[in-house]
């Protein structure tokens, strides 16, 4: 299913509700630059394999391009373009001075040895090197890319330019110049937003049942935080399996089980379901935290949650959005809900450039302020224009991007 067409449909809806100059709107319909690479990597058995890699630099209107790099067997240019566009919107929603970009390599990293993964990362870093930097474009982790992978990227870049430039990439381990709080930032940022929403809807955390799709850095930690906040996490899944127990899970026990057995199959006192069934469970909050295009025109009519809280990028198609809105289901869009990650990435760049590091309390306090403010701006705009939260978040973002483009002039 094409993703970029969906991103453009979302853009169009928001443009219709904003006072954006048509020339400015046109600038957002295509990326400023697309980089596409085919590069060789030597495998452990001595053979050489070619990999496809992408970096899409979508918009630099508000600052250097910013966004993660994903390693996934289905990654392609259409997907990376959409993700880059969403980063531009996301950074503007939370008001951090960055543009939007995204990268990806078409690969299943689970099928590579650690040595192969490092060689692939370093080879990709060599291709990217002329185009990235703290003032140019700053990659970060995304699906299947870890702090360690970011450390390899930063190290390869340092070798090429002959100096340490930690701010060339974010999401690094602490010992390689990372920021406190970057690992839980996306999940924690989402939690701050969810609490604001619950206050508006007059719902108590203890009264909620939650289904989380995905157990990566985002879904796994979000489930933990939801559990700690007193919500009942009744369903969890990874890419291969899903489990359901209406009484709720001890999320830590589920995490341990996954670590030990590699997936969730056979987890005691749980019904084994699949990812599609998880989406349709009778819960208060559904949290897609995996990949795009999960809630579509086909299954939107069967979603029973009251709130869809998008911790993944692009999990809901425009067709599904329209159906959910009609049925009174609140969708908290990705560009707001999961913006905590890039917000702490921004803090990481600031700390790298100033060579002065903050403690976790300071990071979280600053993150909370940004997320709560972004929620308030989005909510206000939604009420004022009587539009869904996604379109409202886009309207807020488009105004900021539009101002940045207009103030700089046309050339
Ligand atoms: N990959 C994350 C996202 O989609 C974080 C990006 C970043 O920190 O630059 O928002």
Ligand 1 atom nearest to CA at 170: 8
The answer to whether 138 touches 345, Cβ cutoff 8 Å, is: yes
The answer to whether 71 touches 107, Cβ cutoff 8 Å, is: yes
pLDDT digits (tens, 9 = 90+) for 43-95: 999 999 999 999 999 999 999 999 999 999 999 999 999 999 999 999 999 99
Ligand 1 atom nearest to CA at 143: 1
Alpha-carbon span 342 to 344, nearest angstrom? 5
Say yes or no: CB of residue 340 within 6 Å of ligand 1. Answer: no
pLDDT digits (tens, 9 = 90+) for 285-335: 999 999 999 999 999 999 999 999 999 999 999 999 999 999 999 999 999
- The predicted structure's pLDDT at residue 80: 98
Strands 48-59 and 33-42: antiparallel
For ligand 1, the distance from its centroid to the CA atom of residue 170, given in whole angstroms, is 9
Q: Which residue has the tokens 């600038």?
A: 27
Of 88, 62, 143, nearest to 339 by C-alpha is: 88
Ligand 1 atom nearest to CA at 86: 4
Band (1; pLDDT cuts 50, 70, 90): confident
For ligand 1, the distance from its centroid to the CA atom of residue 64, given in whole angstroms, is 14
The answer to whether 217 touches 149, Cβ cutoff 8 Å, is: no
Say yes or no: CB of residue 317 within 6 Å of ligand 1. Answer: no
Query: Quick one: average pLDDT of 227-232?
Result: 98
- The predicted structure's pLDDT at residue 199: 98
Q: Which two tokens stand for residue 233?
A: 């996490």
Q: Which of 3, 70, 140, 170 to mutate to test the pocket of ligand 1 (most atoms within 8 A of CB)?
A: 140
**Torsional sign, CA 259, 264, 266, 269:** positive
Alpha-carbon span 122 to 130, nearest angstrom? 14
Say yes or no: CB of residue 292 within 6 Å of ligand 1. Answer: no
- The predicted structure's pLDDT at residue 411: 64
For ligand 1, the distance from its centroid to the CA atom of residue 302, given in whole angstroms, is 30
Q: Which two tokens stand for residue 215?
A: 């157990």
Say yes or no: CB of residue 103 within 6 Å of ligand 1. Answer: no
Ligand 1 atom nearest to CA at 139: 9
For ligand 1, the distance from its centroid to the CA atom of residue 171, given in whole angstroms, is 9
Q: What is the CA radius of gyration of the chain?
A: 20
Q: What are the start-end ranges of the H helices in 229-339?
A: 251-261, 275-279, 318-326, 334-337
For ligand 1, the distance from its centroid to the CA atom of residue 266, given in whole angstroms, is 33
Say yes or no: CB of residue 82 within 6 Å of ligand 1. Answer: no
Q: Which residue has the tokens 């909370």?
A: 368
Say yes or no: CB of residue 341 within 6 Å of ligand 1. Answer: yes
Say yes or no: CB of residue 170 within 6 Å of ligand 1. Answer: yes
Q: Which of 57, 94, 102, 171 to mutate to test the pocket of ligand 1 (most atoms within 8 A of CB)?
A: 171
For ligand 1, the distance from its centroid to the CA atom of residue 253, given in whole angstroms, is 28
Position 35 pLDDT exceeds 70? yes
φ, ψ for residue 23, nearest 5 deg = -65, -35
Alpha-carbon span 150 to 172, nearest angstrom? 5
Say yes or no: CB of residue 342 within 6 Å of ligand 1. Answer: yes
Which residues, in sequence order, are CB contacts of 78 under 8 Å at separation 6+?
A: 2, 3, 4
pLDDT digits (tens, 9 = 90+) for 95-150: 999 999 999 999 999 999 999 999 999 999 999 999 999 999 999 999 999 999 99
Provide the mean pLDDT of the chain. Answer: 97
- The predicted structure's pLDDT at residue 379: 98
The answer to whether 343 touches 371, Cβ cutoff 8 Å, is: yes
Query: Quick one: average pLDDT of 342-367?
Result: 98
Just list the catalytic residues.
Answer: 102
Q: How far is CA 273 from CA 4, 218, 241, 281, in A?
A: 30, 21, 7, 10
Strands 137-138 and 65-66: parallel
The neighbour count for residue 34, using CB atoms within 10 Å, is: 15
Query: Quick one: average pLDDT of 146-174?
Result: 98
For 143, half-sphere exposure in the C-beta direction (CA atoms, 13 angstrom radius) is 27
Ligand 1 atom nearest to CA at 90: 10
Ligand 1 atom nearest to CA at 345: 8
0.75 surpassed by pTM? yes
- The predicted structure's pLDDT at residue 290: 96
Of 60, 135, 67, nearest to 345 by C-alpha is: 67
Residue having the nearest C-alpha atom to atom 9 of ligand 1: 67
Band (410; pLDDT cuts 50, 70, 90): confident
The answer to whether 315 touches 290, Cβ cutoff 8 Å, is: yes
pLDDT digits (tens, 9 = 90+) for 240-291: 999 999 999 999 999 999 999 999 999 998 999 999 999 999 999 999 999 9
DSSP β-bridge partners for residue 141: 69
DSSP β-bridge partners for residue 377: none
For ligand 1, the distance from its centroid to the CA atom of residue 245, given in whole angstroms, is 31
């Amino acid at each position: 299913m094409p993703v970029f067409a969906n991103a453009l449909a979302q853009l169009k809806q928001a443009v219709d509700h904003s006072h954006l100059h048509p020339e400015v709107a046109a600038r957002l319909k295509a990326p400023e630059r697309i980089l596409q690479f085919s590069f060789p990597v030597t495998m452990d058995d001595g053979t050489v394999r070619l990999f496809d890699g992408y970096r899409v630099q979508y918009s630099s209107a508000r600052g250097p391009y910013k966004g993660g790099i994903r390693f996934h067997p289905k990654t392609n240019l259409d997907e990376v373009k959409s993700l880059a566009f969403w980063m531009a919107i996301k950074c503007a929603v939370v008001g951090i001075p960055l543009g939007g970009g995204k990268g990806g390599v078409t690969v299943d990293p689970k099928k590579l040895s650690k040595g192969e993964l490092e060689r692939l990362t370093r080879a990709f870093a060599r291709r990217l090197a002329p185009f990235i930097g703290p003032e140019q474009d700053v990659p970060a982790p995304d699906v299947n890319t870890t702090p360690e992978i970011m450390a390899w990227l930063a190290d390869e870049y340092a070798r090429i330019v002959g100096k340490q430039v930690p701010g060339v990439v974010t999401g690094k381990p602490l010992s390689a110049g990372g920021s406190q709080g970057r690992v839980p930032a996306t999940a924690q940022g989402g939690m701050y937003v969810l609490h604001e929403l619950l206050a508006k809807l007059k719902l108590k955390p203890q009264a909620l049942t939650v289904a989380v799709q995905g157990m990566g850095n985002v879904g796994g930690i979000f489930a933990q935080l939801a559990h700690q906040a007193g919500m009942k996490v009744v369903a969890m899944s990874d890419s291969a399996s899903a489990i359901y127990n209406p009484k709720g899970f001890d999320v830590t026990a589920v995490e341990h089980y996954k670590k030990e057995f590699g997936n969730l199959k056979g987890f005691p006192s749980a019904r084994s379901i699949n990812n599609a069934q998880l989406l349709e469970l009778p819960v208060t909050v559904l949290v897609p935290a995996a990949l795009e295009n999960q809630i579509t025109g086909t299954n939107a009519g069967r979603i029973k949650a009251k709130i869809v809280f998008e911790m993944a990028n692009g999990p809901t198609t425009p067709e599904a959005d329209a159906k959910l809105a009609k049925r009174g289901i609140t969708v908290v869009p990705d560009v707001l809900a999961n913006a905590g990650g890039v917000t702490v990435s921004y803090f990481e760049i600031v700390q790298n450039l100033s060579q002065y590091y903050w403690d976790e309390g300071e990071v979280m306090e600053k993150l909370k302020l940004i997320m709560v403010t972004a929620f308030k701006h989005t909510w206000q705009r939604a009420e004022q224009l009587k539009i869904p939260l996604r379109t409202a978040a886009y309207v807020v973002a488009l105004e900021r991007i539009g101002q940045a483009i207009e103030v700089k002039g046309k050339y």
